[in-house]
Amino acid sequence: MRTARTRATTATARMARARARTRTARTTARTARARARTRTTTATARTARARA
């Protein structure tokens, strides 16, 4: 009985952990994308300023 319950809890915990990991990965990817976008915009603005 105890082993079954423990196994169920561990499975649930593993599922929750995996979900949290995917969420964090998604947020990090979003932030990285936003950072890359800002970097590209600043670079283009700098080149335009240098050209002008």
Task: For the chain, give every domain's residue range.
Answer: 1-52
Supply the pLDDT for residue 2: 63
| CA pair distance 13, 19, nearest whole angstrom | 10
- What is the pTM (predicted TM-score) of this model? 0.44
DSSP label at 47? Answer: H
Whether residue 20 is predicted with pLDDT greater than 70 in this model: the reply is yes
For residue 3, pLDDT over 80 is answered with no
pLDDT in tens, 34-52: 888 888 888 788 888 888 7
Residue pointed to by tokens 């936003």 = 34
> CA-to-CA distance for 50 and 39, rounded, in angstroms?
16
Distance CA 40, CA 38 (A): 6
What 3-state DSSP class applies to 2? helix
